Amino acid sequence: MIAYISGKILEVSDTSVLILPESGVWYEIGINEITFASLATRQETDLYLYHHIIEWGQSLFGFETIEEKKLFTELIKISGVGWKVALQIMSLWKHRLIEAVQSDDKKTIESIKWIGKKMAEKIVLELKDKDFVKSHIWTSTADNSATPEQIMLPATLIENITGTLQNMWYQNRDIERVLLQVPAEYSSVEEILPFVIRELS
C-alpha cells in the first residue's frame, strides 16, 4: 500500500495532481478543490495517500493532513458515498464539515454537489459519534458579507471561486478585494484561483 508521497508537482488541476518523487516514477493522484487551491502555486508537495484497490483497478487520493485522510476513509465507508462523492464532500473544508456534523447542520451538507436530504442525514448520523468529530474544537470567524455580484467577472465563476475560498476560511472582504485585481486575460478557475490565493497569502 502506498501511504505517503513527496516530490515535484508536474501538473495540477482541480481533480488531480501529477507528482514526480525521487524514484522517478510519476504518480497521478486524485484531489479535491481545496487541495488544488493549496497546490496550485507550489512546485513541490508532500501528501498523505489513500490507496484505493478494487478488482478492476487502483487509484490514489491525496491529502495534506492525516486528519483529512482519516475523514475521507470514514466517508467512503458510508453506504452510497463513493470516492468521487467523498472528495466533493471534502471540498466543503474539513473544519466546516465537522462543525456541521457536530451541530446537526444538514442544510450545509445538503449544499454539497450530489448530496440530497437523505444522504446528508446519513452522513451526520454516521460521523457524529466518531472520536475525531466529538473531540474537534472549531470557532467560526467567517465574514458572510461578500457581494460577488459587484465584481466584474461572470457571476457563476465568482460563485465557484468565492465558495472554494470561503471553504478554506478566507475572509470574504479580502476575497472581494483581490478579485477586483484579477488580470483581464484570466478567464478560468484554474487561472484565477491560484492568483487570488497568492495575493491573499
71 and 101 both lie in a single domain: yes
Q: Please give the average per-residue pLDDT across 171-185, as a whole number.
A: 81
Residue 109 in any domain: the answer is yes
pLDDT in tens, 23-76: 999 999 999 888 887 888 789 999 999 999 988 889 999 999 898 899 999 999
% pLDDT > 90, the chain: 37
Residue 37 in any domain: the answer is yes
Decide which of 85, 106, 134 is a domain's last residue: 134
Return the pLDDT at 154: 61
Residue 143 in any domain: the answer is no
Residues, the chain: 201
Q: Measure the CA–CA gap between 142 and 127, rounded to whole angstroms.
A: 24
pLDDT of residue 141 exceeding 50, the answer is no
Residues paired with residue 11 on neighbouring β-strands, in sequence order? 18
- Look up residue 40 and give its DSSP letter: T
**98-118 burial code (b ≥16 CB/10 A, e <16):** bbbbbeebbebbbebeebeee
114 and 161 both lie in a single domain: no
Q: Measure the CA–CA gap between 16 and 18, rounded to whole angstroms.
A: 7
Residue 166 in any domain: the answer is yes
pTM for the full model?
A: 0.69
% pLDDT > 70, the chain: 88
Decide which of 41, 63, 85 is a domain's last residue: 63
102 and 118 both lie in a single domain: yes
Sign of torsion over alpha carbons 111, 112, 114, 117: negative
Which of 61-65, 144-148, 181-185 is predicted with the least confidence, judged by mean pLDDT?
144-148
**Average pLDDT of the chain to the nearest whole number:** 83
100 and 52 both lie in a single domain: no
10 and 53 both lie in a single domain: yes
Identify whether the C-beta of residue 33 lies closer than 8 Å to the C-beta of residue 164. yes
Which CATH number do you get for residue 25?
Answer: 2.40.50.140
40 and 74 both lie in a single domain: no
130 and 71 both lie in a single domain: yes
pLDDT of residue 139 exceeding 70, the answer is no
Return the pLDDT at 91: 77
Residue 140 in any domain: the answer is no
Identify whether the C-beta of residue 90 lies closer than 8 Å to the C-beta of residue 68. yes
Residue 44's H or E segment, with its range, is: strand 44-54
Identity at 144, one-letter amino acid code: N
Residue 39 in any domain: the answer is yes
Residue 43 in any domain: the answer is yes
50 and 74 both lie in a single domain: no
Nearest to 162, CA basis, from 21, 37, 30: 37
144: left (phi over 0), alpha (psi -120 to 50) or beta: alpha
14 and 43 both lie in a single domain: yes
Residue 139 in any domain: the answer is no
Q: Please give the average per-residue pLDDT across 105-131, as a whole number.
A: 89
Long-range contacts, stretch 114-117, CB < 8 angstroms, 24+ apart? 114/84, 114/85, 114/88, 115/85, 115/88, 115/89
Confidence of residue 159 (pLDDT cuts 50, 70, 90): confident
- Chain center to CA of 68: 10
130 and 72 both lie in a single domain: yes
- Total number of domains constituting the chain: 3
Domain that holds residue 192: 148-200
Confidence of residue 143 (pLDDT cuts 50, 70, 90): very low
122 and 98 both lie in a single domain: yes
